Structure formats: structure tokens, C-alpha cells
């Protein structure tokens, strides 16, 4: 079978490898679609701090496929079934696993610390396969993983009907927060810099959009909330300096959720946070949220189809990497297929 392997930093090449075989409790899937994300580039470039997140590595942790072979004792999926891969492999035994929280001390990530989806067939523990109905496209199924990450952060706050939610960053994360907040009956104010993305946000339910290149976000948020500020603020832009502004746009005793991952250290006014009695919360990882993510998609409460802007063949990987690196404006998510 064909494998697209990151063999050394910045070098990615095709290899011919033997077909995997499903051992006990494992399955082999035929890979249908793989989403390409910044994490893949970080591993490819050897930028990750973790020792085992380095090339040589087969990239890809956003994976959909069809079950090709099941090993002994596998009961949760059948051959021919469509699935999405939960890339987080946890031991089930350690302190964190027993508590049911993120942080397994023996945890591995498929496509990070172990080989991922950029191969024709992939062997995984059966428990990491989550069935998806055929009504969800293979491309959309491949990006359930980022949506499952959003759900982890979203679950940390409670949003009630009539609440106002401000979301910074109309990328996949921000636009998932938009849909989830609307489902709770909130008024959503979406902040960004690109009109096209903000338009898509409107289509997905945002009530008010603010392009900070042309408008003052703080004025608009205060105006929309009788001067109080939002009940909940989701930072999904990855620009850490937004956190300080978020404190002004959020009401006293409101919550700020940091989701977008910034680079470097962030300055913010901790005194302001404390005196306003605000909660600053973070959330990461698709931890135990895949089932809920699939259910929300199946019910049509969240749609991901609009986010897959580019579908490419595996052999166009170089082109896709270039686009992701250059943050090509029209690119939201590129998905690779064989």
C-alpha cells in the first residue's frame, strides 16, 4: 500500500509499505479523507517539543474511513462501516483516565506520536473508531476532530437562552462556537477581519458581525448588551492579545474561554479580570466528545460542509502544505484523498 511519510524535517515522500493486519481489539480502515492542519505542519517541520512527535512520521490526525478488517473481539464496528477516527489513544488505567479527564500520562496521538492517516490503510484500536452515518460526507467526517475539540471547550461554560455570546475569530473553531451558541438560544456577535468569513458566520447563525478593520468591536458589543458586555466570550482567533480586550467586552462575572492557541507569552491585566470576577477558562483536545459531535452533525444542529474549501489528491500534498503555510485567504480546511 501507499504511504505518504514525513521522513525528516520538511521532507515528505511516498513509500510502499506492507498492508497492516488487525490484531486483537484492532481494526484496519481504508482511509477516505484526511484533513490537513497546522499541527501536521508543526510535526513535519520538527517544531513540536515532544520527543516522539518528530519525523519520521506518517501525518494526519483528522481521518475518516471505512472499516476494512476487524480483529478478534471487535464489537463496536463492522466491516464496511463508515467511521471517523478519534486520534487520542489513552490507556484507561492512569489517574487522568480513571477520572475521565484529559491528560493521560501514557496518551498518544494518531498522526502525532504514532503514525497517522496519510496512508491507504491504517490500523487503530477499535475503540478509537466512531461510527458515522453515511449522510455525513467523508470530507466533513474528516473534520469532526477539530469540531470535537471545540466541544471540549464549549462544555466548560453554560449558555442560556437570551445570553449574549461574543466570538473572536471566524475560522472553523469560531464558526463551530457560533452554531453551538445559537443552539442554546444565545445572541451571537462574531468578530473578525475578513468579510467573507463573517458572511459565512451570518449564514451559520451569527446575529451581528464586526469587521475590526472597519468597526469598533467594544462599542458594538456594549451597544448590543445595554452597556454590560457579553455573558460569554470565546477567543478562537489564536491572537493572544484579544484576551485583554475580551475582559472589556465581557460583563462582570462573565466567562472568557481561551480556545485559539497563541504563540509566545501573553500580556493581560489580571487585576481587571479579578476585580470583574470573570472566569478565564481554556479547553483543548477532542476528549470524549466525538459521539456528541457525530450526533450534532447527524441532527443537522451543526454543519461542517462549508469548511471544506479544498479537496486534493494525496500527491498534491506539497501544494496543500504551501497553502496552509501561507494562510491562503480562501482556505479554511484542505482535505486529502487517495
Q: Is 110 in the site for Zn ion (CB under 5 A)?
A: no
Closest contact distance (angstroms) between CB of 238 and Zn ion is 13
Taking the CA atoms of residue 68, residue 70, residue 71 and residue 75 in that order, the dihedral angle to the nearest 10 degrees is: 160
Q: Is 97 in the site for Zn ion (CB under 5 A)?
A: yes
The residue within the footprint of Zn ion, chosen from 37, 257, 320, 332 (CB under 5 A), is 37
Given the complex with Zn ion, which of 90 and 278 has the nearer CB atom?
90
From residue 228, alpha-carbon distances to 29, 249, 253 in Å are 51, 8, 11
Q: Is 41 in the site for Zn ion (CB under 5 A)?
A: no
- In terms of phi and psi (left: phi > 0; alpha: psi -120 to 50; beta: otherwise), the region of 327 is left
Phi, psi of 336 (to 5 degrees): -105, 140
Percent helix / strand / coil, the chain, rounded to 5:
30, 30, 40
* Cα–Cα distance for residue pair 243/237, rounded to 1 Å: 10
Closest contact distance (angstroms) between CB of 329 and Zn ion is 20
SS3 273: helix
The residue within the footprint of Zn ion, chosen from 7, 91, 261, 284 (CB under 5 A), is 91
HEC string for 51-66: CCCCCCECCCCEEEEE
Contact 3/111 with Cβ under 8 angstroms? Answer: no
Given the complex with Zn ion, which of 150 and 256 has the nearer CB atom?
150
Q: Is 141 in the site for Zn ion (CB under 5 A)?
A: no
Q: Are strands 2-8 and 11-16 parallel, antiparallel or unpaired?
A: antiparallel
Q: Is 90 in the site for Zn ion (CB under 5 A)?
A: yes
Given the complex with Zn ion, which of 98 and 295 has the nearer CB atom?
98
SS3 337: strand
* Cα–Cα distance for residue pair 53/57, rounded to 1 Å: 8
Q: Is 118 in the site for Zn ion (CB under 5 A)?
A: no
SS3 160: coil
Q: CB-based contacts of 227: which residues, under 8 Å, 6+ apart?
A: none
Q: Is 279 in the site for Zn ion (CB under 5 A)?
A: no
Closest contact distance (angstroms) between CB of 333 and Zn ion is 9
Closest contact distance (angstroms) between CB of 228 and Zn ion is 35
Given the complex with Zn ion, which of 7 and 261 has the nearer CB atom?
261
Closest contact distance (angstroms) between CB of 263 and Zn ion is 16
Given the complex with Zn ion, which of 39 and 278 has the nearer CB atom?
39
SS3 2: strand
The residue within the footprint of Zn ion, chosen from 94, 102, 218, 279 (CB under 5 A), is 94
* Cα–Cα distance for residue pair 20/29, rounded to 1 Å: 10
Given the complex with Zn ion, which of 41 and 218 has the nearer CB atom?
41
Q: Is 303 in the site for Zn ion (CB under 5 A)?
A: no
Which of these segments, 29-37, 78-86, 135-143, 270-278, binds Zn ion (CB under 5 A)? 29-37
Which of these segments, 30-38, 245-253, 317-325, 326-334, binds Zn ion (CB under 5 A)? 30-38
The total number of residues written for the chain in this structure:
338
Q: Is 270 in the site for Zn ion (CB under 5 A)?
A: no
Given the complex with Zn ion, which of 59 and 67 has the nearer CB atom?
59
Beta bridge mates, 65: 31, 83
Residues contacting Zn ion: total by CB under 5 A: 7
DSSP code for 81: -
Q: Is 64 in the site for Zn ion (CB under 5 A)?
A: no
Q: Is 332 in the site for Zn ion (CB under 5 A)?
A: no
The residue within the footprint of Zn ion, chosen from 104, 166, 258, 304 (CB under 5 A), is 104
Q: Is 150 in the site for Zn ion (CB under 5 A)?
A: no
- Tell me which residues touch Zn ion (CB under 5 A): 37, 39, 90-91, 94, 97, 104
Amino acid at each position: 500500500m501507499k504511504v505518504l511519510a514525513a521522513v525528516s524535517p520538511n521532507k515528505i515522500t511516498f513509500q510502499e509499505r506492507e498492508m497492516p493486519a488487525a490484531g486483537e481489539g484492532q481494526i484496519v480502515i481504508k482511509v477516505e479523507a484526511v484533513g490537513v492542519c497546522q499541527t501536521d505542519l508543526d510535526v513535519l517541520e520538527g517544531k513540536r517539543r515532544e520527543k516522539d512527535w518528530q519525523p519520521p512520521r506518517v501525518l494526519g490526525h483528522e481521518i475518516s474511513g471505512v472499516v476494512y478488517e476487524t480483529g478478534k473481539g471487535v464489537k463496536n464496528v463492522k466491516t464496511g462501516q463508515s467511521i471517523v477516527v478519534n486520534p487520542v489513544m489513552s490507556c484507561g488505567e492512569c489517574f487522568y483516565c480513571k477520572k475521565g479527564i484529559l491528560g493521560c500520562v501514557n496518551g498518544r496521538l494518531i498522526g502525532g506520536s504514532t503514525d497517522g492517516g496519510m496512508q491507504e490503510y491504517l490500523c487503530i484500536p477499535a475503540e478509537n473508531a466512531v461510527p458515522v452515518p453515511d449522510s455525513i460526507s467523508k470530507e466533513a467526517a474528516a473534520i469532526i476532530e477539530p469540531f470535537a475539540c471545540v466541544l471540549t471547550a464549549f462544555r466548560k461554560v453554560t449558555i442560556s437562552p437570551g445570553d449574549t455570546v461574543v466570538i473572536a475569530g471566524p475560522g472553523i473553531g469560531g464558526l463551530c462556537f457560533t452554531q453551538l451558541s445559537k443552539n442554546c438560544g444565545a445572541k451571537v456577535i462574531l468578530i473578525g477581519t475578513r468579510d467573507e468569513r463573517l458572511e459565512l458566520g451570518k449564514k451559520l447563525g451569527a446575529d451581528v458581525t464586526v469587521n475590526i478593520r472597519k468597526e469598533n468591536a467594544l462599542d458594538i458589543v456594549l451597544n448590543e448588551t445595554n452597556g454590560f458586555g457579553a455573558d460569554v466570550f470565546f477567543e478562537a482567533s489564536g491572537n493572544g492579545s484579544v484576551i485583554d480586550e475580551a475582559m472589556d467586552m465581557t460583563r462582570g462575572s462573565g466567562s472568557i474561554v481561551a480556545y485559539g492557541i497563541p504563540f509566545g507569552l501573553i500580556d493581560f491585566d489580571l487585576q481587571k479580570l479579578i476585580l470583574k470576577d470573570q472566569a478565564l477558562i481554556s479547553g483543548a483536545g477532542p476528549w470524549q466528545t466525538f459521539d456528541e459531535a457525530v450526533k450534532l452533525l447527524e441532527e443537522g444542529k451543526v454543519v461542517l460542509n462549508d469548511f471544506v474549501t479544498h479537496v486534493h489528491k494525496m500527491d498534491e500534498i506539497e501544494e496543500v502544505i504551501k497553502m496552509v503555510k501561507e494562510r491562503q485567504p480562501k482556505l479554511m480546511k484542505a482535505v486529502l484523498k487517495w
